[in-house]
A = this chain, B = another copy of it.
Amino acid sequence: MALNLSGYAVDFKAVQEAVTRLSPFIHRTPIVTSGTADERVGRRLFFKAENLQQTGAFKIRGALNAVLQLKESNPAVKGVATHSAGNHGQALAAAARNCQLSCTVVIPNTAPQVKVNAIKGYGANVVFCEPTPQDRKATSERVCKEAGLTFVSPYDDVHVISGQGTLGLELLEQVSDMDAIVVPVSGGGLAAGVCLAVKSVKPQIKIFAAEPAGKDLEVSLRAGERLWPEPPRHLETIADGLRTQQLGQITWPIARDCLEKTVLTMSDDETVAAMKFVFERMKLVVEPSGAVPVAAVMSDRFRLLGSDIKKVSVIMSGGNVNLDKLPWC
């Protein structure tokens, strides 16, 4: 039970500082409940509707915390850059605009036009790269060097992690006596932040990771070491916000020590069914990545967990989906 949470690159104090830094700018998103979901699952569920957050996803917490901190520590900073066709790209663009900084987002030349437009809509520059991890990295480095921009990782950044952690502190205030939290995991920024925040205050709360098939986080968690194949690869999944297979170098030790060893792995079919459930019964627009934790609590594996897990919070983010092409249509 007694966890030592002091040996990581980021600590609980940074999460508390992020709360103060972010609170003037972001929404305190509501908790939504559903009698139908509770009946189906046999537990009391509390859905953190983070799809209602600014920019439609939790990513603004980490991105804005990183940009605000950067400007505090270096008022002369020129701008920021990242690589992401998804919610982190939009979030960093919005965060930079909020702070009157320039922003460049490196995007694979295969990304859908709707995502490119969303990022441009927040005033960021877009630079295209080949759809490989190698070219993405090289292009980002070149862009940062040429324009004097500071790179902000989607997940492996201490300020991004502490920013995402603010969601954990909100949950603690909004849902009393939680037994567990289900968190989606990709690079691990949200998971690490929520673990730090929640385990520092209530170490007895169990934190379960939900992932798309192929990630195999449980193998590494049970071994206590990184067992992913190299070089890093992207998963083929409808949950396009959760394509990164490996956790980051900063996020991994926190996840390793704090997450439950049981990982909830969802197929695309399960994810789409959960997504439609959220639209139909909960009246919320959620993207596949946001529906993965919902699918997780509805899964047989979660059902078989101990009956001591009564009250469960489910982090549901984001809501950026192409409405002209819903996966069930």
Contact = CB atoms under 8 A, between A and B. Distances in A.
A310 interface: no
A319 B52 contact: no
B324 A329 contact: yes
Centre residue among A30, A32, A286 by max chain B CB count within 10 A: A30
A146 interface: no
Most B CB contacts (10 A, CB to CB) among A32, A33, A54, A280 go to A280
A52 B279 CA distance: 11
Contacts of A324: 328-329
A142 interface: no
Interface in A43-71: 51-52, 54, 56
A99 interface: no
Contacts of A282: 52
Nearest to A285: B283
Nearest to A320: B283
The number of chain A residues touching the other chain, given as a range, is 20 to 34
A326 interface: yes
Interface in A270-294: 276, 279-280, 282-286
Contact of A32 (B52, B280, B328, B329): B52
A305 interface: no
B323 A328 contact: yes
A35 interface: yes
A319 B248 CA distance: 39
A323 B52 contact: no
A319 B280 CA distance: 8
Interface in A5-54: 27, 30, 32-33, 35, 51-52, 54
Contacts of A285: 279-280, 283-285
A173 to B, nearest CB: 15
Interface string A313-329: 00000110001101011
Given A276-B323, A326-B326, A329-B329, 17 more contacts: A30-B30, A51-B283, A52-B283, A52-B284, A56-B283, A279-B285, A280-B285, A283-B284, A283-B285, A283-B319, A284-B284, A284-B285, A285-B285, A323-B328, A324-B328, A324-B329, A326-B329
Q: 6 tightest CB-CB pairs across the interface, nearest first?
A: A283-B319, A30-B30, A283-B285, A51-B283, A279-B285, A279-B323
